[in-house]
Amino acid sequence: MTKVKIKRGDNVIVTTGKNKGGKGEVLEVIRKEGKDPRVIVAGINIVKKHVKPSASNPQGDIVEKEASINISNVALMDKDGKATKLGSKMEGDKKVRVAKTTGETL
């Protein structure tokens, strides 16, 4: 299984695809055995989904929601709003995540 450095709540920027340059917060990280990890980012990759009529929703509907993006197509964002890689260092007895571009902890 691939090591995932992006976590829920991180601010990311989309690096490739139709949403390139889009910025948002990671809502969910999806990991499946034998497949690349994917992320759902708030406000990015919006798709329309047709919902069937049911007892609770007799009319049915067309709902807009965020679809997942491959994790390789997003990068962590530093405080300047630019893409950055992730490093780590020890602070006392805790391991913390550090942005490579600015050196600040995430």
Mean pLDDT (10-residue bins), the chain, 106 residues: 84 93 94 90 94 91 93 91 90 90 84
Structural domains in the chain, CATH included, are 11-99 (2.30.30.30)
Question: E strands along 1-106, which residues?
Answer: 11-14, 23-30, 38-41, 46-51, 61-66, 69-70, 74-77, 83-84, 86-91, 94-99
pLDDT computed for residue 103 by the predictor: 85
pLDDT computed for residue 92 by the predictor: 87
pLDDT computed for residue 1 by the predictor: 61
pLDDT computed for residue 55 by the predictor: 92
pLDDT computed for residue 46 by the predictor: 94
Query: Amino acid letter at 42?
Result: A
